[in-house]
Amino acid sequence: MHRKNLSWLLVAAAWAIAGTCVAADNSRAANGKRLFITDGCFECHGRVGEGGAFNGPAPALAGIFSRRSSIEIIAAVRKGPNDMPAYTEKVLSNQELGDIIAYLRSLPGPTDPKKYPLLYK
């Protein structure tokens, strides 16, 4: 019962944040970039979300929208899976998390190596 209540809260919060992302613009992404550095995401996930390692691999976040929804990303940040610390609303507001998501959306993700025929000669 307690767990169920918590997950409803999470879904509600996730929709609230996703709603603010509709209005995502460059200034939100710029603030998200700043928060990504000052809140320490970069220490594990790399400065441009290229991924890295802590005790285990910290996944690349650039291009993450091809495999994860905003809701899943919000849930991961709030829960902190495995080695990742949980970022509660006390340390990262919904508005700030929305800005980080706008930043992650602005990252191009890895280039397809097939774009470079030289590599396949």
Residues of the shown chain interacting with ligand HEC in the complex, contacts defined by CB under 6 A: 39-41, 43-45, 54, 56, 58-59, 61, 64, 68, 73, 76-77, 81-85, 87, 92, 100
Instruction: Give the pair of three-digit tokens for residue 116.
Output: 């470079």
Query: Cβ 100 to ligand HEC, closest distance in Å?
Result: 5
Instruction: Give the pair of three-digit tokens for residue 43.
Output: 């220490």
Query: Cβ 81 to ligand HEC, closest distance in Å?
Result: 4
Q: Pick from 21, 40, 9: which is nearest to 95 by CA?
A: 21
Q: Between residues 57 and 115, which has the closer beta carbon with respect to ligand HEC?
A: 57
C-beta of residue 41 within 8 angstroms of C-beta of residue 33: no
For residue 3, the tally of other CB atoms under 10 A from its CB is 7
Query: Cβ 89 to ligand HEC, closest distance in Å?
Result: 12
